[in-house]
Amino acid sequence: MKGDHLKSTKHIGAFIDSKCVGVLSLFLASTDQLSNLSQYQLRGMAVDPEHRKKNIGRKLASFSENELRSRNVEVIWCNAREIAVNFYKKLDFEVISDEFHIPDVGPHYVMYKRLS
């Protein structure tokens, strides 16, 4: 993704026996809905289909949240695909936008979580 190699970008992986089974990336980026807050965008959250529903996504998010807290970041947010909204709700993210469409991907919502 654009910005992958910026120093401010963090890529986090979940590993089982040295095999990567889940990923997410954290980008220093703001959304209009959360102006004035120190914030990072969560992008590219994905877990290997063979390892889903084993809390790997939850652990990736939790690790990321702690990492951002240690840097005094106030908010984590993402553009959640409609099919992932309930997953993010389980992680205590809230919807803060109307539905919007990303071409070739489909309906999305901005979701966020306060870290402090």
Ligand X SMILES: CC(C)(COP(=O)(O)OP(=O)(O)OC[C@H]1O[C@@H](n2cnc3c(N)ncnc32)[C@H](O)[C@@H]1OP(=O)(O)O)[C@@H](O)C(=O)NCCC(=O)NCCS
Binding stretches for ligand X (CB under 6 A):
45-47, 52-58, 80-81, 83-84, 86-87, 90
Could you tell me the smallest distance in angstroms from the CB atom of residue 13 to ligand X? 13
d(CA 80, CA 89): 10
d(CA 87, CA 105): 18
Q: Smaller CB distance to ligand X: residue 7 or 53?
A: 53
Could you tell me the smallest distance in angstroms from the CB atom of residue 72 to ligand X? 25
Q: Smaller CB distance to ligand X: residue 23 or 28?
A: 23
Q: Smaller CB distance to ligand X: residue 36 or 86?
A: 86
Question: What is the distance of C-alpha 50 from the center of its chain?
Answer: 20
d(CA 62, CA 22): 13
Residue 54 is classified by DSSP as: S
